[in-house]
Amino acid sequence: MLQEENLAGRIQSLALKSEETVELPPIQLTSAQVTAEFEEDLVDRPELIATLQRGSVLNPVRESPQENIFSVDGPTKNFWIKVLHSRGDVSRIERVHIIGVARRGSKTQHIELD
């Protein structure tokens, strides 16, 4: 399922949204098409691009309040991403946005903030 989303005043894009696992065919992306929430996560961009070029399984992140964030496993890291399609051609991935990166096998610690 696709959902239209205005990303902080940018052009409107179609964001992939699913409560089920999504299988992506192999896709070609340039470094410019992969952005990140945090600049330090850009160092891991080559691993994510290589993972997506082989074809990937995206798992919805159930811990996220947003329904359009997916988890994808690379060889050494797990990525939380948003997948955005061009408005005119929903079969073409226009951009992937990295929300977070964790080394595979590492534990995530949740902290309650008051």
Note the pLDDT tens digit of each residue in 20-72: 898 888 989 999 999 999 999 999 999 999 999 999 999 999 877 677 899 99
Q: Which domain holds residue 33?
A: 2-103
Q: What percent of the chain is predicted at pLDDT more than 90?
A: 49
In this structure, is residue 92 part of a structural domain? yes
In this structure, is residue 39 part of a structural domain? yes
The model carries a pTM of: 0.76
In this structure, is residue 43 part of a structural domain? yes
Cα separation, 49 vs 60, in Å, equals: 19
Q: How many domains in the chain?
A: 1
Question: Can you give the pLDDT at residue 106?
Answer: 57
Q: Is residue 3's pLDDT more than 50?
A: no
In this structure, is residue 112 part of a structural domain? no
Cβ atoms of residues 83 and 93 within 8 Å: yes
In this structure, is residue 13 part of a structural domain? yes
Give the contacts of 56 (CB within 8 A, at least 6 positions apart). 23, 24, 72
In this structure, is residue 114 part of a structural domain? no
Residues linked to residue 93 through DSSP beta bridges, in sequence order: 85
Tens of pLDDT along 73-97?
Answer: 999 999 999 998 767 665 678 899 9
In this structure, is residue 113 part of a structural domain? no
Coil, strand, or helix at residue 53?
A: helix
